[in-house]
Structure 1
Amino acid sequence: MLSVPKQQITRNIVINCTPQAIKQELKDLPIQDMPYTLRQTCALLALINRTQINDNKRLGIMQCFDYAFRNLDEHYHLRNPQALLHSTNKEKDKLAELKQEMAYGYKTILLEAIARNDLTHKPIAEIIYMAMYYLGHSIMQCYDNYTLPNNDLWYEINQLYSFAERYQVHRVTIGRAFSLPAANTIEDYFKQILLVELANPYQLSPSESWQVYSYLGHWVKHVKLLNEPQYLNHSEYFLLDLDSQRCPHQIFAPPQPDQHSFRYLTPDRLIALIEQHINTLRGGHRPAEIGIPNSNNNKRAIELLMVIERQWQHLKHRQGLRLPCDSFTAVAWGVDTIHEILIPSDNLPIQTSGQHRATGKMVNESPGGYCLKINQALMSEFYNGQIIAMRSDKQSHPRWLLGFVRWQQQLPQTGSSLVGIQYLKGHVRPVTLHPIQKLSKKQTLAGLMLTNQENDGKQQHSLLASAGSLALGRELKLVVPQKQKGYEIQTNHLLNHTPLVEQYSFKAFAA
């Protein structure tokens, strides 16, 4: 059901496991040295989570850690939204570990209460809420780092909400105050983290996912989560399966009737409210007045609201008509594989031949993208943000077209799945990248160069590479094998960032 560490320590002589002693120990940690405080807090909680303690004491101890976590959270998110971005990898890992341990603590209390059938004597609503709160923060940190959350995170969040519904505590008001606004019921907090996911946070700039989180903390009560759809048109909703490991997704066909617990999320009222808030900002009001902290830039706040509004509107206002088609399609995914198939040379060593390549069917298309039908066994390869190259038999030319995976939907009865691909417009070429400074000359990277036309007729070039392999301001020698030419360039803007791929604009140095 829920994962927790084994409590193998029966008697701890290292620490005094009482709320009063733990409170004092946490209070003595130096606030001026947050990395040290983070390490010590995490180590102490990890030890407690593996020690057998009376569950009433454990609840009091966890409330002490709640206060300590709030101080750390304020440091890494509220006072300086860029603090986590500029932290060391060890700090990021330790903060993620602390969030996991905080969730462990509350899940342990919940599981002990269930095992003893002692739900009426515990603040179950608060315990479930806090477990979900820390799991939600774990997912938010994945957005910060542009990494994919573990499937267990969504599974456990879904299970916690399902349990809260079963015991009718999902709408109980929780009297907790948080630095970054969080909804005050289990149901509303559940909707809050679902809608951050549905805002496609990997396409937002660093720290903007927290601005969306904060905004939703104020207004998510206007979003409906239903047991049954109110309209026959299923595309009006996002679908959630409480029995699965999946996050919410768009509905393109009615779900198959089975034993799963489906919920239907509709943000219609919130979308209408966003329009009012955009007008409020255009009238000169500050973003903080509508729940967007750490932003004095009205223009950027308006752009952010427009971006998430478009994401939540999904199919209802699709740009361009979806045209049914039935074309066999060759697909390849991943920068290295696409680079390999684009290089016209028989002399290159084949590293990925037979891997990351498949065939599917294009079942509909619009100017913005297409829907790909593939074997269900391939679903684990098609993450949101994965880069795809496609070439279909309906094309009159042999060009490969690029796109990003935006959604997936399983079709259990047919043994296949649907994958939604958003086009990356432009002509793609394989390139090889050689770092100019500080690194070995032998270290090279495979990349893709995308060229398209701007409105003024000028060509715009951008560079695609595996996530984490490049950085802003990086000086590189770019070699185009097809032309046997090399250029010295410098990356200057991050255009797209997904868990797997980065896209940069760049400038070329004068020869």
Structure 2
Amino acid sequence: MTLDALRLEVPDLLEEDAASLADLNEQLLQARRQPQETALQQVLSLLFRVNRSAMTLLERQRALQSFSDQYRHYAAAYQDDAPPPALFVHLCGELAIGFKRLLLQILQGRQPSRPHLAWCLYMAQHFLAQSLLRHYQRYHEPPPSLWRDSHLLYWIGEHQECLDEPVAATFCPQPANTLRGLYQQILLVALSNPFHLAEGECPRLFGALAPLAELARLLPWDEEDDTEGPTVDLTESQPCLAYTQMPDGDQVNLRRFELGALLIALHDPAPLQDPEERRLLGQVQRHWLGRQQRQHPRTEQAAPCELVIGLTAIHAQLLEQRPPRSPAQMLDTSPGGARLLCNPDQATRLAVGQLALLLTGSTPILALVRWRHQNDEGLHLGLRYLKGLPRPAWLRRAPSAQTHPGILQSTPAPGSGWHHGLWLPKGQFVEGEHLWLQLPGMHNQAVLPLPVANLGTNSVTRYPLQMA
């Protein structure tokens, strides 16, 4: 399945049942004067007709804003521990439908502004998250379509570059204020064994996660990455793949849910945090990594080390040119990676996805920054080791053209031969471009067409190479 915004689940338009907007606000006001159940039924009936009527973008947006205000009013009655009635859950679903249809109108029209698109994506995701949350609160399995559409909204936000656009939305329980945070907020609830929570704990957990969920990250899938953590398939009808479930979809739609920074942040001082929320977060975090055993046992190790940051500096270090190094303290390590404590001044240089060389007095280790979290202690950094021998390389677009630095990562293959991966700065070259590759100590240059990348971050890209 190819991810496509047009696959969002929305009902067909019914031209013969067009809704009149002239007195919509008056009808909504009249509904408020009715008993709660009757009022919900009337509001739901009005919204049902609006969602299936043809409207201009502006008409639909204004109508949905009115219904969102009504939602806040009716949601206030369900802030205690008792689960809401089915009518309220249905209202959340219809509001999600409305904003999904509005999103389709925005995407099919002129180029929207990023804040407008981010707002619409966020509102659709919010009401999908509320639908999921209320199903969990009622101990009902959510319909598969809710997760399919949630994943798709995240994917659209990723491709439209508005995952981190802040949105001011006053709802209860409190949602995160970006699309990324909101989507990850409900993912974490789903991973928290929600059917085993006591009554009222599900929305309380959702609210407790609001300031924390954005610290987690969905990272590009790499089959060589054996770090523990949930796997999300953006084409599936479930929050994450089961730990016994092997990913079999297109890798471009797979993400690794990295929780390292979030797990560190849970232990930070939070004087304004409700004690019950802190207890609840401590209770559920053991579920987030499932029952999976660690791929590599972790060893606590307090030892000084140094980092060489960025591809250009690593290239110089491998040539023994002694570029600047950043001191750090290793807190624990395993064959798969390490956790470091660094100076906060390095935060701007040590972004997630940055390439780094770890120097511990023995063999230098090439690594990727997997997660980071800054608190009063300093900058906590999670490194993923990249197996193999790193070597400096030079790339040229012609035999005598300007040189560009690269890092060749070589790993012995089972039997005989080597696997090679060429690390280059993101966006420096394009797939299919013919390049001249030269290694230290070699006068000849090998000509190679740049293949499709098999791993990319915001800083670097890795290309698999076949070399004699």
| Mapped pair 1:191 → 2:184 | yes
Instruction: Choose the corresponding residue for 1:4, options 2, 7, 10.
Output: 10
Task: After superposition, give the CA deviation of every residue in 1:476-501 in whole Å (9 maximum; x if it has no partner).
Answer: xxxxxxxxxxxxxxxxxxxxxxxxxx
1:358 counterpart residue number: none
Conserved 8 A contact 2:147-2:238: yes
| Mapped pair 1:105 → 2:111 | no
Conserved 8 A contact 2:166-2:178: yes
After superposition, the Cα gap between the structure-2 partners of 1:250 and 1:307, relative to the gap in structure 1 and judged at 3 Å, is farther
Task: After superposition, give the CA deviation of every residue in 1:336-388 in whole Å (9 maximum; x if it has no partner).
Answer: xxxxxxxxxxxxxxxxxxxxxxxxxxxxxxxxxxxxxxxxxxxxxxxxxxxxx
How far 1:251 sits from its partner (Å)? Answer: 4.5
How far 1:10 sits from its partner (Å)? Answer: 4.9
1:311 counterpart residue number: 287
How far 1:302 sits from its partner (Å)? Answer: 5.4
| Mapped pair 1:123 → 2:116 | yes
With normalisation by structure 1, the TM-score equals 0.52
Instruction: Choose the corresponding residue for 2:210, options 211, 217, 234.
Output: 217
Instruction: Choose the corresponding residue for 2:136, options 143, 149, 153.
Output: 143
Conserved 8 A contact 1:271-1:312: no
| CA distance in structure 1 between the partners assigned to 2:106 and 2:252 by the alignment | 26
| CA distance in structure 1 between the partners assigned to 2:277 and 2:10 by the alignment | 39
1:268 counterpart residue number: 260
| CA distance in structure 2 between the partners assigned to 1:123 and 1:198 by the alignment | 31
| CA distance in structure 2 between the partners assigned to 1:146 and 1:248 by the alignment | 19
| CA distance in structure 1 between the partners assigned to 2:114 and 2:213 by the alignment | 30
1:291-302 aligned within 5 A: 292=274, 298=275, 301=277
After superposition, the Cα gap between the structure-2 partners of 1:308 and 1:31, relative to the gap in structure 1 and judged at 3 Å, is farther
Conserved 8 A contact 2:233-2:249: no
Task: After superposition, give the CA deviation of every residue in 1:108-144 in whole Å (9 maximum; x if it has no partner).
Answer: 1112233335534981111111111111111111111
2:236 counterpart residue number: 244
| CA distance in structure 2 between the partners assigned to 1:305 and 1:167 by the alignment | 32
| CA distance in structure 2 between the partners assigned to 1:17 and 1:160 by the alignment | 28
Conserved 8 A contact 2:100-2:124: yes
Conserved 8 A contact 2:208-2:277: no
SS for the counterpart of 2:256 is: strand
1:169 counterpart residue number: 162
Give the aligned CA root-mean-square deviation in angstroms. Answer: 2.8
After superposition, the Cα gap between the structure-2 partners of 1:40 and 1:272, relative to the gap in structure 1 and judged at 3 Å, is same
After superposition, the Cα gap between the structure-2 partners of 1:212 and 1:176, relative to the gap in structure 1 and judged at 3 Å, is same
2:431 counterpart residue number: none
How far 1:34 sits from its partner (Å)? Answer: 1.6
1:81 counterpart residue number: 81
After superposition, the Cα gap between the structure-2 partners of 1:206 and 1:253, relative to the gap in structure 1 and judged at 3 Å, is closer
| CA distance in structure 2 between the partners assigned to 1:170 and 1:206 by the alignment | 32
The unaligned stretches of length 5 or more in structure 1 are 85-91, 293-297, 322-511
How far 1:243 sits from its partner (Å)? Answer: 1.9
Task: After superposition, give the CA deviation of every residue in 1:6-56 in whole Å (9 maximum; x if it has no partner).
Answer: 2213574xx6315xx323332333367221221111011111112221121
User: Could you tell me which amino acid in structure 2 is paired with residue 244 of structure 1?
Assistant: E
| Mapped pair 1:182 → 2:175 | yes
1:27-426 aligned within 5 A: 27-30=29-32, 33-76=35-78, 78=79, 80-82=80-82, 84=84, 92-120=85-113, 123-228=116-221, 232-235=225-228, 237-249=229-241, 251=243, 255-256=247-248, 258-276=250-268, 289-290=272-273, 292=274, 298=275, 301=277, 303-315=279-291
Conserved 8 A contact 1:11-1:52: no
Task: After superposition, give the CA deviation of every residue in 1:388-417 in whole Å (9 maximum; x if it has no partner).
Answer: xxxxxxxxxxxxxxxxxxxxxxxxxxxxxx
User: Could you tell me which amino acid in structure 2 is paired with residue 265 of structure 1?
Assistant: F
After superposition, the Cα gap between the structure-2 partners of 1:252 and 1:51, relative to the gap in structure 1 and judged at 3 Å, is closer
How far 1:197 sits from its partner (Å)? Answer: 0.4
After superposition, the Cα gap between the structure-2 partners of 1:122 and 1:53, relative to the gap in structure 1 and judged at 3 Å, is farther
After superposition, the Cα gap between the structure-2 partners of 1:272 and 1:257, relative to the gap in structure 1 and judged at 3 Å, is same
Conserved 8 A contact 2:115-2:165: no
How far 1:272 sits from its partner (Å)? Answer: 2.6
Task: After superposition, give the CA deviation of every residue in 1:434-479 in whole Å (9 maximum; x if it has no partner).
Answer: xxxxxxxxxxxxxxxxxxxxxxxxxxxxxxxxxxxxxxxxxxxxxx
Conserved 8 A contact 2:233-2:255: yes
After superposition, the Cα gap between the structure-2 partners of 1:268 and 1:315, relative to the gap in structure 1 and judged at 3 Å, is farther
| CA distance in structure 1 between the partners assigned to 2:223 and 2:176 by the alignment | 25
SS for the counterpart of 2:92 is: helix
Conserved 8 A contact 1:143-1:202: yes
| CA distance in structure 2 between the partners assigned to 1:192 and 1:157 by the alignment | 12
| CA distance in structure 1 between the partners assigned to 2:124 and 2:173 by the alignment | 17
SS for the counterpart of 2:285 is: helix
User: Could you tell me which amino acid in structure 2 is paired with residue 264 of structure 1?
Assistant: R
After superposition, the Cα gap between the structure-2 partners of 1:270 and 1:229, relative to the gap in structure 1 and judged at 3 Å, is farther
Conserved 8 A contact 1:82-1:206: yes
Conserved 8 A contact 1:234-1:251: no
User: Could you tell me which amino acid in structure 2 is paired with residue 238 of structure 1?
Assistant: P
SS for the counterpart of 1:138 is: helix
2:20 counterpart residue number: 16
After superposition, the Cα gap between the structure-2 partners of 1:315 and 1:130, relative to the gap in structure 1 and judged at 3 Å, is same
2:453 counterpart residue number: none
Conserved 8 A contact 1:234-1:252: no
The unaligned stretches of length 5 or more in structure 2 are 1-6, 298-468
With normalisation by structure 2, the TM-score equals 0.56
User: How many pairs were matched up?
Assistant: 289
| CA distance in structure 1 between the partners assigned to 2:64 and 2:277 by the alignment | 36
User: Could you tell me which amino acid in structure 1 is paired with residue 55 of structure 2?
Assistant: I
After superposition, the Cα gap between the structure-2 partners of 1:206 and 1:117, relative to the gap in structure 1 and judged at 3 Å, is same
User: Could you tell me which amino acid in structure 2 is paired with residue 304 of structure 1?
Assistant: L
